[in-house]
Amino acid sequence: MSEAISGQNEPNYFDTLPPDAISEELAPVIDELGLRENCRQLAMEGWTVVQKPASDEFNARFRAKIKELCPKGGGNMLLAKDPAFVEAVMNPSLMAMAEFSVGRGFLLSQVAASVRPSGSDSIGLHADNNWLPAPFPAHNMLLTACWATDGYTREGGATLVIPGSNNLRRHPNEKETVEKAGAIAIECEPGSVAMWDGNLWHANWPRKTEGERVVCHITYTRLMMRPVENYHAHAEELVAEYGETMSQLLGQNDLLDSPTGARYAKLRQTFNNAKR
Ligand SMILES: O=C(O)CCC(=O)C(=O)O
């Protein structure tokens, strides 16, 4: 294989960073965005909240767009449906947290939304690593970021989490699913983004307050995982519009899953990404 096609002009990384380490390249971005404590909490407890990563104007527009596109309680494949979803997915704070949690070169897995009216019951306790057998690996595979356009309160049906359950590295059993021992509510302001790793046991509380809870659920995944949603039909258009970051998110900028065979020009970059 020639140098040109194996990407040998990249430095060759030999060490894999530990799961809670922030890479040298990412550290200035994390500091600039004030996310160091979020990284610590996500790595240790399995969840964190990024306070209002965008303007109130964006949050209001985003909520209205979700309501328009998801009149019946929910929707999916939203990335291709309106630029507001791209703006949320590519928000600098979310992208930085995703790189920290699911590694350089991570993919977009899903862009869905839920609209929960008053009286909505809770969903069952689960870990989002639903297509991964236990024991879960030390490095996180899946990061779920829930954009809480209305904020979260327990009475309002906030996401329920069991801090530290991420460290058990397995799915909850039936008894644990019923008991929900150690559960707390994530409480946050409108426009904040609650996020958790694929190991964390979570559900939500019943919604007792009036009105609706409108949330966009964005999932990022490590580059070796299969995404939930398949944007192949939209990839060319989205990459032309949004460039290299979109290309990475849709798995078009690495060695893998290429319709013409492995993209060897991306080999070293992809192997290096797996270590960061
Ligand atoms: O709706 C919620 O609060 C929790 C959602 C959830 O379980 C998920 O997105 O994985």
Share of the chain above pLDDT 70, in %: 97
How far does residue 211's CA lie from ligand 1's centre (Å)?
18
Whole-number Å distance, alpha carbon 237 to ligand 1 midpoint, is 29
Assess whether pLDDT exceeds 80 at residue 151.
Answer: yes
Q: Are 20 and 14 in contact (CB under 8 A)?
A: no
CA of 24 to the centre of ligand 1 (A): 32
Q: Which residue has the tokens 């790189």?
A: 99
Q: Ligand 1 centre from 76 Cα, in Å? A: 14
Kindly give the distance from the C-alpha atom of residue 197 to the centroid of ligand 1, in angstroms, as a whole number.
12
The pLDDT of residue 9 is 74
Nearest-CA residue for ligand 1 atom 3 is: 159
Q: Is the dihedral of CA 247, 248, 253, 258 positive or negative?
A: negative
pLDDT tens, 66-108?
999 998 889 999 999 999 999 999 999 999 999 999 999 999 9
Q: Supply the pTM of this predicted model.
A: 0.96
pLDDT digits (tens, 9 = 90+) for 217-236: 999 999 999 999 999 999 99
DSSP state of 210: S
| The CATH number of domain 19-224, selected from 3.10.350.10, 2.40.50.140, 3.40.640.10, 2.60.120.620 | 2.60.120.620
| pLDDT above 90 as % of the chain | 95
Pocket lining for ligand 1, CB < 6 angstroms: 114, 123, 128, 144, 146, 159, 202, 204, 215, 217
- Given a cut of 70, is residue 176 above it in pLDDT? yes
Cβ neighbors of 217 (< 8 A, separation 6 or more) are: 110, 111, 112, 113, 114, 144, 145, 146, 147
Ligand 1 pocket, mutate which of 70, 110, 114, 154 (most atoms under 8 A from CB): 114
Task: Look at ligand 1, atom 6, and give the residue with the nearest C-alpha.
Answer: 203
Residue 5 pLDDT greater than 80, yes or no: no
Please check whether residue 177 is in contact with residue 124, taking contact to mean a CB–CB distance below 8 angstroms: yes
Phi, psi angle pair for 160, to nearest 5°: -100, 130
Using CA atoms, how far residue 108 sits from 22, 140, 245, 262, 271, in Å, is 20, 14, 11, 20, 18
> Quick check: 96 and 183 in contact, CB under 8 A?
no
How far is the centre of ligand 1, averaged over its atoms, from the C-alpha of 23 (Å)? 29
Domain-wise residue ranges, the chain: 19-224
What are the tens digits of pLDDT across the range 10-39? Answer: 889 999 999 999 999 999 999 999 999 999
Give the C-alpha separation, 171 to 127, whole Å.
6
